[in-house]
Structure 1
Amino acid sequence: MSPELKAQIYTIVARVPEGRVTSYGRIAAMTEGATARMVGSAMRQLPSGHGLPWHRVINASGKLADHAGAVEQQRLLKAEGVNLEGKSRVPTSFFWP
């Protein structure tokens, strides 16, 4: 993935409003050629101390991925007022844009 495409992805992630989420695919559609998988890859490559709201990026079905940061992601989303259905699903009403 080119540095320019990765920068586009990170710019879009930075724009996701507090209390909202978006999907890998929606971010990809806003770029010039990224796929949802590429967005996921870019998110996994975030450097430490990046400050981006990574926790606001989820899969298209609204389900939080089962990964090492899942507990922290749930905590951050709840702190922003995102109500989860069950333990790991975000209602579509919280999706941006």
Structure 2
Amino acid sequence: MKATLREQIHTVIAAIPPGRVTTYGRVAAMTEASTPRLVARALRELPAGHGLPWYRVVTASRKLADHPGAAEQRERLAAEGVVLDDRGRVPEERLWP
């Protein structure tokens, strides 16, 4: 992945406000040439100690992706007031932008 694309993805993710989420696809659409899979890849490759709110990115169905950090993601979102519904989805009104 090109460094400029990675930087664009990181910039979009850094802009997600607390208490809001966006999808991999929405992040990709806000870049010049990304895809949801490239956004996921950029998140997987984040170095330890980074400050990006990676946990504010969810799937197109507004669910948490199946990954090792899903429990931490759920906890961080709950700490920001984002509670998943009975179907495990983020309420639509929490989507950004």
Query: If the TM-score is normalised by the length of the shorter chain, which range does it land in?
Result: over 0.9
- Write the mapping of 1:49-60 to structure 2, written as runs, cut at 5 A: 49-60=49-60
Q: Which runs of 4+ in 1 moved over 2 A?
A: none
TM-score (norm: length of structure 2): 0.96
Residue pair 1:24, 1:36 contacting (<8 A) in 2 also: yes
Using the TM superposition, give the Cα deviation of residue 41 of structure 1 relative to its aligned residue in structure 2, in angstroms.
0.5
Q: Give the structure 1 partner of residue 18 of structure 2.
A: 18
Q: In structure 2, how many angstroms separate the alpha carbons of the residues matched to 1:88 and 1:49?
A: 28
- Write the mapping of 1:1-97 to structure 2, written as runs, cut at 5 A: 1-86=1-86, 88-97=88-97
SS at match of 1:86: coil
Residue pair 1:74, 1:88 contacting (<8 A) in 2 also: no
Q: In structure 2, how many angstroms separate the alpha carbons of the residues matched to 1:44 and 1:66?
A: 12
Deviation readout 1:54-78 (Å, 9 max, x if unpaired):
0000111101112111110000000
- Structure 1: gaps (5+ residues): none
Q: In structure 2, how many angstroms separate the alpha carbons of the residues matched to 1:59 and 1:87?
A: 14
Q: In structure 1, how many angstroms separate the alpha carbons of the residues matched to 2:80 and 2:3?
A: 30
TM-score (norm: length of structure 1): 0.96
Using the TM superposition, give the Cα deviation of residue 88 of structure 1 relative to its aligned residue in structure 2, in angstroms.
2.9
Identity of aligned residues (%): 58
- Structure 2: gaps (5+ residues): none
